[in-house]
Amino acid sequence: MKRIGCFHAHYSNIEHVEKALSIFDVELIHFVDPGLDRIKQDADFTKEIVEKKVIETLDWIANCHVDAILITCTFFTALLNNEVHHYPIPIIKIDEPLFEEICEINQPIIVAFTNPNTVNGTMNQILSYSRMKGKEIDAEPFLLENTFDLIMQGKKSEYIQSVSKGLISIIENNPKKSVVAAQLSMVPAAQLIENLRNISIGNHLKSLSSYMEKVLSLVPKN
């Protein structure tokens, strides 16, 4: 059985990961730190403070007898430089399966966000990943404003409702573009709209299971 340490910025992401990997014989150990997002408005807040804390936590998780680490927060993954930060076990960013999916889309893409702090970092990573894969993509970000605080306050139903409305608006105003939900917390809203409108919205859970199975050689449950 593989043991995977999951690093989250909020408790709400736990259920999404457990659902995606429930078919495999794995043990998930969850580490949650909502504090970094809560201090982002402080006057003395800097990228270096967050990076230091994220690396310290990854070091701690890596020493907790896990076979791999899954980082589910796009804010955290944007700070991790694989050329600088090295670990003896695989570090899987929640974005990587989604980036792979985005590179296979053959039309203009709108990448929807709720957390303003992840937009620039994630878009830069998407473009960098597509160049590495030799793919040309036409992708633009769209921030669903005044939504992220809802999930951080534990208002899950209000968050899903607000994100759903935002995704519907994007779809209706951009009928010739594909829409991708950039954050794991947006998955329930994306799935809801997919079922209501019978359309496809890119999201993390669609590609996470197969990607993790491939990278970590996960074994399905009997």
Say whether pTM exceeds 0.75. Answer: yes
Please tell me the distance from the alpha carbon of residue 153 to that of residue 34, in angstroms, as a whole number: 10
- For 97-204, the fitting CATH number among 3.40.50.1220, 3.40.50.1860, 3.30.360.10, 1.10.1060.10 is 3.40.50.1860
The pLDDT tens digits of the residues spanning 127-144 come to: 999 999 999 999 999 999
CATH architecture of 2-93+207-216: 3-Layer(aba) Sandwich (3.40)
Please tell me the distance from the alpha carbon of residue 109 to that of residue 137, in angstroms, as a whole number: 8
Mean pLDDT for 185-204 is 92
* Phi, psi of 91, deg, nearest 5: -110, 115
Task: Say if residue 26's pLDDT is above 70.
Answer: yes
CA dihedral defined by 181, 187, 192, 198, rounded to 10 degrees? 50
